Amino acid sequence: MMTNSPAPSPPVSRSIEDQRAPLVSVVMPVRNGGELLQEAIDSILRQTERDLELIVVDDASNDHTPAVLAQAQATDPRVRVRRLDANLGIAGALNEGCRLARGTFIARMDADDISLPMRIETQLRYLSAHPDVAVVGSWVRRVDQFGALGAIQRYPSEPPLVAWSMMFFNSIAHPTVLMRRDALHMDAVYKADYPPAEDYAFFAGMTRTVRLANIPEVLLHYRMWAGNSSRSPEMDRQATLFLRDHARALGVTITDVESRALHGLARDRYPDTAQQARELANLILALRAAVVRQMPVGDGVAAIDEDAAVRLWLLAALAGRTAPVVAASIAATAFRLRPTSLLPFVAKVVRRLRPRDAAS
């Protein structure tokens, strides 16, 4: 059962005894990221929240990354660099950075992204106002290698919907998060069980014990280019393996095929037959019950039910092409679950069909 509060909310102002430690430790792993690294560093050092340190873990880079880091460290004393002699991978580098962190809060940052100036201040203000939340992320705007702005990636904001959405995709953008240090297991924060989907495993696993949220505004520009690993085939494969194990941890046994089908709903991969649509609808209902069971009584059930029902309407529409009776059965279930869910489903379809404005 999820608890209402992971820990008492630490005050933003600190006593004289711990003033030498920064309020926030920003942990940034990097390997051969010299091309875009300086812009990422600058975006942290220019934050409106000044009480921070930037811990950069150089994961045995062999490009000009060390030179960029040496210059940054010489320019601003808030920059701390840890050079690894051997490549540990992102989980190992992140764990090293978290081990070195001294802040009450730990923020994540990637070496090719750009944090907007108010990011950390905004997130600190949110956590101060929401002592029951352990981790907060935000929306992101995609940018290319040259900084050209792309589409906004929106994530669910309220903790119940964040936890539910983890059954289909990673509903927290890893480089956006600010975390309460006392909510983490500092001996090994990140596990290397599902590379390169460690962040998905980390955050989805956390939803079983603490609350995660997103601020519904863009606080980071997320770099999409050939040098990052998002949406890779291996990422999808490991994410589906984790999702299978996550569902089992919630008390629902699913197969690898079912795990891929759930993950596919967030990747525009849909069931091929009406029978598969019916089976997936039943699985969504079982998972909905499992997620609701771990929530505090009444917490966010309506939002979870609406999202689940919208997914059922989609499956009903897919089944309707070949099996109207099956489609009617799924649609009736969606209506019983959330009678007002048809309108959000139609609105979602309209948004998906509308040509996207890259700058919107």
Question: Along the chain (360 residues), what's the average pLDDT of each consecutive run of 10 residues?
Answer: 43 45 98 96 98 98 97 97 96 95 97 98 98 97 92 96 97 98 83 91 94 98 74 87 96 96 92 96 98 87 96 96 97 97 92 58
CA 237 to chain centre: 17
Q: Greatest CA separation found in the chain?
A: 70
CA dist., res. 351 & res. 177, Å (int):
27
In this predicted structure, what is the pLDDT of residue 353? 74
In this predicted structure, what is the pLDDT of residue 19? 53
Q: pTM of the predicted model, to two decimals?
A: 0.90
Q: Which residues contact 242 (CB under 8 A, 6 or more apart)?
A: 193, 194, 197, 200, 201, 204
Query: CATH classification of 20-223, choosing from 3.20.20.60, 3.90.550.10, 3.30.360.10, 3.40.50.620?
Result: 3.90.550.10
> Around 246, how many Cα atoms within 13 Å sit in the side-chain half-sphere?
35
In this predicted structure, what is the pLDDT of residue 310? 97
In this predicted structure, what is the pLDDT of residue 254? 96
In this predicted structure, what is the pLDDT of residue 100? 96
In this predicted structure, what is the pLDDT of residue 105? 98
